[in-house]
Structure 1
Amino acid sequence: MIEKHLSGTPIHYWIKEKELAESILFVHAAFADHTSFDEQIEFFAKEYQVITLDLIGHGKSIKTQKGDNISKTADYIYKLLEIEGINKIHLVGISIGALLIQDFANKFPDKVASLCCIGGYNINNFDSALQKENSGEQVKMMLKAVISIKWFAKSNKLISAFTTEGQEKFYNMNIRFKKRSFMYLAELKNLINKFKVTNRTYPILIGCGKYDIPMAIKAANMWHESEPKSKMVVFENAGHLVNMDTPQEFNENLIIFLKGNYEV
C-alpha cells in the first residue's frame, strides 16, 4: 500500500494501485483506523484497486485546521477520487463508516458504483426512538473515555467485537485514540435525517453481526425492509465489527455482492 496525504485536509489514505481495475474504498469504525481492514486488502487487491483511509481524528489524520470535522468526510472522499482519477467507486463502511459513505452517496450519487454498510442505519430515515437510544449509549461511552481511555477501550471492545481476535485488535486501536478527537465527531449528528428518503439507483448491501446489540440489528432490518434494492446479510459468529470478527465470511459475501451475484 502506498501512503498519501490528501492535500489541504487532515486525511491520510493508503492505496494499492491496480491499473484499469474498479476501485473500492474501505471506511473504518469510530476509534479504529485503516488497519482494521488488513484482512481485506490482499484479498480484494487481486481484482480491485483498494483504498483505505484514517478518518479525521483517527490514526494519522490528526493535523487539523479550524473548521475540520467529520461532516466534511464526503468532500474529502470526493477530492480523493479527483486526485486518483476515479470516476465511480465501491464504498464499504463499518459502523460510523457506514453512515459517512451514505452521506457521500447522498451528495455524489453519480460517483457510487455500490454501497456496503455494515453495523449502520439509514441516515435518511433514522427512527427517533432508536436515535435517542443510540445517543444515550454514546454518552455513556464518552464519559468512560473522559475518565480513562483504557477503561473506555476495555468496555468498547466487549460491545463491538465478538471474537477474542477482534476484541484485542480493536482494543489496541482504541487506546491510541486521543480524547481531543471526540470534538471532531460531534458534527456527525448533522448528517442524520438531512436528506429526503429516496430509492437508491445503485446496489446496496446491508449487514450486521449476529451478536451485535439489539438496537443495531433492529435498525439494519428496518433499513433493509424500506430499501427495495438492498440485500441483507447477518454474519454468524460476529458482533459489530464484522470484518474483524469473521474476515473470511465478510470477504466472501462482499465479493459476491460486488460481482452482482446476489439476488435482491
Structure 2
Amino acid sequence: MLHKTLVYRDAQIAYYFAENKEKETILLLHPAFADHEIFEAQTESFMEDYQVIAVDMPGHGDSQIKGRNVTLKDMPAILHQIMSDHEISALHIVGVSMGSLVAQAFADRYPERVKSVTMVGGYSIHKANEQILKAQKKEGLKWLGYMLFSMKKFRDHVISVSCYTDRCRTVFRRGIGKFHRKSFSVMSGMNSFFRKQDTPVRYPLLIIVGQQDQQMIREAANTIHKLEKGSQLAVLPAAGHCANLDAPEEFNRLVKDFLLDQ
C-alpha cells in the first residue's frame, strides 16, 4: 500500500492506499492507541477484490499531531476530504472499537457516502449506550492513572484487554508504541459523535464480536443487533476485542461474504 498524506488544518494525516479504481472501496478504521498495521491481514486479503484505504487517526501511528487544532472529532471531515481527493463517491467501512464509533459518526453525517458499516467490538452512537459509556469513563480514569505513572503499564494494560492471541499482542504493541502522553490531547471531542436516534440506521450493518471480549462488549453487540432489525451478528469463538487480528481468516471471510450481498 502507498503511504499518503492529507494536510488538514496544518496537520499531516497519514493514510495507506491500495488503488484499484475499477473496484469498490473499503475504508479501515483502527481502534484507539493502535494504527493501520492492525489491519495487516485485511489489507492483504481485501486488495484482491477492492480498493483499500487504512487511516492513521490523529495522534496515532504516523499521524502525530502538535497542539489541539486537530482531534478525533475531526475524523468525519478528514475522511470526507480523503474521499474527495480520490474521487470516491461512496465506500464500505470496517471499524474496530473506537474506529466503529468514527464509522458510525461518518455515516451519520454523510449517509450518501456510505455503502455499509462493519462494526467490530463496538457499540451504537445512537441508542442503548448509557451503561457502556459509564463503564468507558471508568476505564478512561484507569488509563489516566497508568499514563501518569508509567506508559509501559498503560500500554501493557491496553494490550491485555484488546488481544486474545500472541499475534494480536505483537502487532498491537508496535502501534501503541507510537502513542505517547502528548497524544492524549487528540482524544477530545468524540462526544460530538453521539446523537440519539430511535429509527434504524440506513446502511447495511454487520456486527462482529469476539467471544473472548469483555462481557460488556458482547452484550452491547447483542443489544444493537436486536435494535437494528436489518443487521447481521457474528461471534468469533477464538477472538477477543480486536477480532480482525485474533481470527483474521474467519473475519475476512465474514466481511467478504457480507459485502457480496450488498
Pairwise TM-score range, normalised by the shorter structure = over 0.9
Q: Work out whether residues 90 and 112 of structure 1, in 8 Å CA contact, stay in contact via their aligned partners in 2.
A: yes
| Aligned twin of 1:220 | 221
Q: CA deviation at 1:201?
A: 2.5
Gaps of 5+ in 2: none
Q: CA deviation at 1:66?
A: 4.4
Gaps of 5+ in 1: none
TM-score, normalised on structure 2? Answer: 0.95
Find out whether 1:111 has 2:113 as its counterpart: yes
TM-score, normalised on structure 1? Answer: 0.94
Q: For residues 183-213 of structure 1, what are the alpha-carbon distances to aligned partners after superposition, in whole Å with 9 as ceiling and x for unaligned?
A: 1112122322x24333223211011100101
Q: CA deviation at 1:19?
A: 2.5
Superposition pairs for residues 11-50 of structure 1, below 5 Å? Answer: 11-50=13-52
Q: CA deviation at 1:172?
A: 2.6
| Aligned twin of 1:4 | 4
Give the Cα–Cα distance (whole angstroms) in 2 for the partners of residues 208 and 15 of structure 1: 26
Find out whether 1:230 has 2:231 as its counterpart: yes
Superposition pairs for residues 156-171 of structure 1, below 5 Å? Answer: 156-171=158-173
Q: Work out whether residues 150 and 175 of structure 1, in 8 Å CA contact, stay in contact via their aligned partners in 2.
A: no
Give the Cα–Cα distance (whole angstroms) in 2 for the partners of residues 168 and 65 of structure 1: 30
Distance 1:180 1:197, change over 3 A: farther
Give the Cα–Cα distance (whole angstroms) in 1 for the partners of residues 196 and 139 of structure 2: 25
Give the Cα–Cα distance (whole angstroms) in 1 for the partners of residues 59 and 200 of structure 2: 32
Q: Work out whether residues 68 and 185 of structure 2, in 8 Å CA contact, stay in contact via their aligned partners in 1.
A: no
Q: For residues 244-263 of structure 1, what are the alpha-carbon distances to aligned partners after superposition, in whole Å with 9 as ceiling and x for unaligned?
A: 111111101000001018xx
Superposition pairs for residues 113-132 of structure 1, below 5 Å? Answer: 113-132=115-134
Distance 1:159 1:125, change over 3 A: same
Q: CA deviation at 1:153?
A: 1.3
Q: Work out whether residues 10 and 64 of structure 1, in 8 Å CA contact, stay in contact via their aligned partners in 2.
A: no
Count of residue pairs the alignment pairs up: 260
Give the Cα–Cα distance (whole angstroms) in 1 for the partners of residues 196 and 13 of structure 2: 25
| Aligned twin of 2:85 | 83
Q: For residues 135-178 of structure 1, what are the alpha-carbon distances to aligned partners after superposition, in whole Å with 9 as ceiling and x for unaligned?
A: 11121123212211111111211111001211222123222211
Of residues 137-146 and 67-76 in structure 1, the stretch that sits farther from structure 2 once superposed is 137-146
Classify the secondary structure of the residue corresponding to 1:10. Answer: strand
Give the Cα–Cα distance (whole angstroms) in 1 for the partners of residues 252 and 94 of structure 2: 11
Q: CA deviation at 1:76?
A: 0.3
Q: CA deviation at 1:125?
A: 1.2
Classify the secondary structure of the residue corresponding to 1:177. Answer: coil
Classify the secondary structure of the residue corresponding to 1:196. Answer: coil
Give the Cα–Cα distance (whole angstroms) in 2 for the partners of residues 205 and 43 of structure 1: 18
Give the Cα–Cα distance (whole angstroms) in 2 for the partners of residues 213 and 183 of structure 1: 26
Letter in 2 for 1:114: S
Give the Cα–Cα distance (whole angstroms) in 2 for the partners of residues 112 and 134 of structure 1: 27
Give the Cα–Cα distance (whole angstroms) in 2 for the partners of residues 19 and 175 of structure 1: 34
Give the Cα–Cα distance (whole angstroms) in 2 for the partners of residues 238 and 160 of structure 1: 10
Q: For residues 91-112 of structure 1, what are the alpha-carbon distances to aligned partners after superposition, in whole Å with 9 as ceiling and x for unaligned?
A: 0000000000100000000000
Of residues 100-109 and 3-12 in structure 1, the stretch that sits farther from structure 2 once superposed is 3-12
Give the Cα–Cα distance (whole angstroms) in 2 for the partners of residues 114 and 81 of structure 1: 15
Q: Work out whether residues 106 and 195 of structure 1, in 8 Å CA contact, stay in contact via their aligned partners in 2.
A: no
| Aligned twin of 1:250 | 251
2:181 to 179, 204, 220: 179
Of residues 21-30 and 168-177 in structure 1, the stretch that sits farther from structure 2 once superposed is 168-177
Q: CA RMSD in A?
A: 1.4
Of residues 75-84 and 195-204 in structure 1, the stretch that sits farther from structure 2 once superposed is 195-204
Classify the secondary structure of the residue corresponding to 1:200. Answer: coil
Of residues 247-256 and 7-16 in structure 1, the stretch that sits farther from structure 2 once superposed is 7-16
Q: CA deviation at 1:64?
A: 4.2
Letter in 2 for 1:159: V
Letter in 1 for 2:258: F
Give the Cα–Cα distance (whole angstroms) in 1 for the partners of residues 148 and 261 of structure 2: 45
Q: Work out whether residues 35 and 176 of structure 2, in 8 Å CA contact, stay in contact via their aligned partners in 1.
A: no
Give the Cα–Cα distance (whole angstroms) in 2 for the partners of residues 65 and 89 of structure 1: 31
